[in-house]
Structure 1
């Protein structure tokens, strides 16, 4: 789940990609009407919920059974394995799980098939995940899991200090000044997100820019990093490291490092995903903060901020010989009934708003209403065929600025130039 801004290639690059540009000359060889047993390449489910859902499908479809294939644990390994299968035009996988920002790449290179919108209840999903499942206004995947960053805070300490839950960065810093003066907060720091040099840093940067009123790219695909808002977003992070709002060790934090720091009482505020809620609320002695924290939306400069959209999509391999069964299985796995069952068995955020209104689930997951609000205002990451390249540029430059190796002005100028080249296919 830890996984965890929208742009389009120039016309010439799109034409090249549509014809197999970027190192692939694939022509789909699958069977759009084929049926039979299929393979489902997906993330390993430690809760055992997905295998149970597959067993239910298999019992009802003895001639079209589903076999689960576990993808590697890390996103990079998952992407590499799926690309290897696609580049060899292998029909080993029928339904595949892809990260939200991979949709454009897989669609442009014709590694996944277009899905007929009239066969899928797209109006029943959150709008942002559906938008992130499209490429050039056509549907190529169905949202399976979604997610948005939230702000975890030490409710017990805020209450003791007599401060309200912050809605802005200024209020967050003011709250920290009061809370950290308490004896109970000795040794703690104010705030941390994910700042190591990986995809999480690109997400945290985009959220900072968005929460300052800017955007990494506009809807036409043009980088917008030469704006006062972009500078304000990056300055916010850089200055927070300099003044100690963010502790120096947070430069090494991914999701788990930050989660452990908050869980051990070392942070007052922490940006992370929904999956950590149950871990931090554990009563088995592994957490020092069960029952002591709350959750709210991310802060912004002038009000509530915005999160980048997380999540995974389900798509049909263009090389599958059993695409009709694959489409039906996706419909089953993402139906409201199946999502409700799935949510009761795991903490993965579902993609249908109706699930968030279920009283039983609201009692099971008290943060659901906050998460729904965050998802409704979340922004998708760039729909780039070369998204990996763009993310790497952002990670390199933002990390250099946070660690004092370059100025915010130079980091933003370099990102603007390189993202423009990526968007133009150069």
Structure 2
């Protein structure tokens, strides 16, 4: 019998740890690895471990390192609440969190505020050469590595294969127009009664920033340019925002979406209440469960998100591990990150959760491909995905985006006025200090 990926990961733990010696960095100043000293207990502040796999991997580490125990601290579900907890911890210069599981878009903010230590790369540090290049950039700030990519993600279109087939539609939509046409056909059938056409995260959370960036990017616009200058007050950006506004106004997206977060949307789709759903890869494993928790198991598939003229512009997601500048036992933390970044641990996590790995070779792994046949689509989406706006004042930036876009979606302001106001706010937030 073939050993399970978790068994292989645990069996190889001693070898992995043997390769993780020393502080692994250069000395002095802000050099990579400087200050990565101290050994002993550590904590990992991260999202909820719903599969239990993270805890199993931590347990394996703890059995091998009795004097350097790792403990998981689970943070709230909403990304905004997670970030607030970490910012509060940093502002207090608290050592409560040793390792931070950061949303990929927080790297610039945390590094710019000197809340993280620079991580060493190379033989004695972290090996980023085996990772998807797109993921490596999410852990860098001004060309230096501050966070190690652990999971990746890109927006995908989940769709009900059974409903499309009964409506005589043989392929998922590539454009917004095709998506609306498919929805109209499905809604005319008995099976389509009570099923919402489309859902993306438009509640006033971090997910709304992602949805806005994808819609605007798909229409050829952007929120912040490559030089950090706001670029949201353009016809292209308005076309993208208008897509979301019209979807709500015309009833193609339920008004209830204005109050749903990512988990609320997931439950909505899994309950069989949506035909098309823009969501992250983690939903695949949960929606495919046959334990009764999902009404769409075996009746859905994924495709690239659509745009106005073809495939849309997905945004990059995922989580990276960073070391708090205020923590003790940073040498142990670095070793733990090396351990968790190894392909065996990433494979175990991906098999259990359908989260996208960052190790490139895993996208050709037979076990993962057998369970998740959408991996080639996901890899392409990650390689082509664009970033969300990255800024040292990210909290203010994302809050401004959410406020402006939510105001337009709820009908409190026009899309044009929302973008004009957002341009001005972003100008103040992104101005040089």
Query: Scaled by the length of structure 2, what TM-score is found?
Result: 0.86
Residue aligning to 1:371: 378
Structure with the bigger RCO (C-alpha within 8 Å, sep 6+) is 1
Query: For the residues of structure 2 that align with 1:40 and 1:57, how far apart are their CA atoms?
Result: 13
Deviation at 1:276, TM superposition (A): 2.1
Deviation at 1:113, TM superposition (A): 0.5
Contact 1:147–1:311 under 8 Å retained in 2: yes
Tell me what 2:195 maps to. Answer: 188
Q: Of 228, 232, 236, which aligns to 2:239?
A: 232
2:136 maps to 130
Residue 292 (structure 1) aligns with: 299
Secondary structure, aligned partner of 1:296: strand
Conserved in 2, the CA contact under 8 Å of 1:216 and 1:224?
Answer: yes
Q: Which residue of 2 aligns with 1:111?
A: 115
State whether structure 2 residue 251 is matched by structure 1 residue 244: yes
Bigger drift between 112-121 and 365-374 goes to: 365-374
- Cα distance between partner residues in 2 of 1:266 and 1:157: 12
Q: Which runs of 5 or more structure 2 residues have no equivalent in the other structure?
A: 1-33
Q: Bigger CA drift: 407-416 or 320-329?
A: 320-329
Distance 1:270 1:93 in 2: 35
- How far residue 98 of structure 1 moved from its aligned partner, in angstroms, is 1.8
User: Following TM superposition, by how much is the alpha carbon of 1:401 offset from its aligned partner in structure 2, in angstroms?
Assistant: 0.9
User: Secondary structure at the residue paired with 2:188?
Assistant: coil
Deviation at 1:83, TM superposition (A): 2.5
Equivalent in the alignment of 2:146:
140
Confirm or deny that 1:308 pairs with 2:312: no
Which residue in 2 is equivalent to 1:359? 366
Name the structure 2 match of 1:92: 96
CA shift, 1:279, in A, is 2.9
Q: What secondary structure is seen at the aligned counterpart in 2 of 1:341?
A: helix
1:100-130 CA-to-partner distances (Å, cap 9, x unmatched) read 2221111111111011222222122222222
**Mapped pair 1:415 → 2:419:** no
1:173 to 177, 180, 197: 180
Cα distance in 1 for partners of 2:294, 2:82 equals 31
Q: Residues 373 and 387 of structure 1: is their aligned pair in 2 closer, same or farther, counting only changes over 3 Å?
A: same
Shift of 1:81: 2.9
SS of the residue 1:69 aligns to: strand
Measured after TM superposition, the shift of residue 296 of structure 1 is 0.5
User: Which among 385, 400, 404 is matched to residue 407 of structure 2?
Assistant: 400
Aligned counterparts, 1:372-391, within 5 A:
372-391=379-398
Seen in structure 2, the aligned counterparts of structure 1 residues 177 and 88 have a Cα distance that, compared at 3 Å, is closer
For the pair 1:221 / 2:225, whether they are aligned, the reply is: no
- 317, 334, 358: which one aligns with 2:341: 334
Distance (Å, rounded) in 2 between the aligned partners of 1:411 and 1:340: 43
Of residues 261, 264, 268 in structure 2, which corresponds to 1:254? 261
Q: 2:275 is paired with a residue of what secondary structure? A: strand
Unaligned runs of 5+ in 1: 1-29
Report the Cα offset of residue 143 of structure 1.
Answer: 0.9
Deviation at 1:155, TM superposition (A): 1.0
Q: Is the 8 A contact 1:112 1:316 kept in 2?
A: yes
The worse-fitting range, judged by mean Cα deviation, of 318-327 and 221-230 is 318-327
The verdict on how the C-alpha distance between 1:121 and 1:406 changes in structure 2, with shifts beyond 3 A counting, is same
Query: Which residue in 2 is equivalent to 1:18?
Result: none
> Compared with structure 1, are the counterparts of its residues 205 and 77 closer, same or farther at alpha carbon in structure 2 (3 Å cutoff)?
closer
Q: Is the 8 A contact 1:104 1:384 kept in 2?
A: yes
TM-score by length of 1: 0.87
How has the CA–CA distance of structure 1 residues 283 and 63 changed in structure 2, closer, same or farther, with 3 Å as cutoff? closer
How far apart, in 2, do the equivalents of 1:69 and 1:158 lie?
A: 42
Match of 1:83 in 2: 87
CA contact (8 A) 1:128 1:380 kept: no
Q: Distance in 1 between matches of 2:71 and 2:299?
A: 42
Aligned length: 397
Give the whole-Å Cα distance in 1 for the aligned partners of 2:273 and 2:193. Answer: 9
Structure 2: distance between partners of 1:249 and 1:37: 44
Could you say what secondary structure the match of 1:110 adopts? coil
Cα deviation for residue 343 of structure 1 reads: 2.1
1:390 shift after superposition? 0.9
> What is the CA-CA distance between 1:183 and the residue it aligns to?
2.1
- Partners of 1:44 and 1:157 in 2: CA distance: 33
Deviation, 1:184, is 1.7
* C-alpha RMSD of matched pairs (Å): 2.0
Q: Which consecutive aligned stretches of 4+ in structure 1 deviate over 4 angstroms post-superposition?
A: none
